[in-house]
Amino acid sequence: MRLHRKLGVALVALCLSLPVMAMSLEQAMSALGSAKSQGLVGEQADGYLGVVKNGGDAADVAAQINAARRAEYQKVASQSGATLKDVESLAGKKAIERTPSGQYVQVNGQWVRK
């Protein structure tokens, strides 16, 4: 019975600490430039970041920034009357156009260095 109680307490402690361990949007934004220049993440035509190759916090950076982008795209779509897909596509096109040479973009499902 004591073992179950100890495991239960440990599980609760772990669950409560998960939000603390997760990367914040501010941390993700700070890490984005480095992740892009290292070739870990790149821009996609759908307006979101993709993981080019796993390493460091690449997946966390992409997830945090993509969540923020999606919220912003939804806001723009509802304010403009456009569909979410249209806003995502336009944002993706602009992001790819603005990506500096040497960084990755996804073209026809393949990662290429611009």
The 10s digit of each residue's pLDDT in 61-100 is: 999 999 999 999 999 999 999 999 999 999 999 999 999 9
DSSP string over 28-67? HHHHHHHHHHTTSEEE-TTSSEEESS--TTHHHHHHHHHH
The 10s digit of each residue's pLDDT in 33-60 is: 999 999 999 999 999 999 999 988 999 9
Position 23 scores a pLDDT of 83
Residue 40 near residue 58 (C-beta atoms within 8 A): yes
What is the value of pTM for the model shown?
Answer: 0.79
Residue spans of the domains in the chain: they are: 25-113
For tokens 């040479």, what's the residue?
101
